[in-house]
């Protein structure tokens, strides 16, 4: 009964490259959430997706960031033309629906932009 799987665990990109972060939700979970944690800060909501639908992307930066959760396969968070300020830990969570009692997080992807 695997939990939320994120890969890669660590990702190093040069400025201007693209970063692709993957998230496979827990079995039976159809809701996926992405959060970002900058150094010394709490997690910040980025986007909420259901299969083939973006429900709320109010936390996504307006440019360079996109997310998808296709019918088949993992959810993908894509960051184009990365900059140093994108360096952070990106956490994915999943749930069968809603946050109550609390959704399950993956171990995160640590993105370093050099």
The footprint of another protein (CB under 8 A) covers 4, 6, 31, 33, 35, 40-45, 48, 55-56, 91, 93, 95, 97-108
Kindly tell me which of 80 and 99 has the beta carbon lying closer to another protein.
99
How far is it, in rounded angstroms, from Cα 38 to Cα 41? 5
Question: Least distance to another protein from the beta carbon of 101, Å?
Answer: 5
Backbone φ/ψ region at 57: left (φ over 0), alpha (ψ -120 to 50), beta: alpha
- Torsion sign across C-alpha atoms 9, 12, 21, 44: positive
Question: Least distance to another protein from the beta carbon of 66, Å?
Answer: 19
């Amino acid at each position: 009964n695997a939990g939320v799987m994120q890969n890669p665990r660590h990702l190093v990109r040069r400025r201007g490259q693209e970063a692709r972060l993957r998230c496979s939700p827990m079995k039976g979970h159809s809701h996926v959430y992405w959060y970002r944690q900058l150094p010394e800060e709490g997690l910040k909501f980025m986007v909420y997706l259901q299969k083939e639908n973006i429900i709320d992307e109010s936390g996504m930066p307006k440019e360079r960031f996109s997310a998808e959760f296709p019918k088949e396969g993992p959810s993908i968070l894509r960051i184009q033309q990365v900059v140093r300020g994108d360096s952070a830990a990106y956490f994915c969570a999943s749930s069968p629906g809603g946050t109550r009692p609390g959704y399950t997080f993956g171990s995160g992807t640590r993105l370093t932009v050099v």
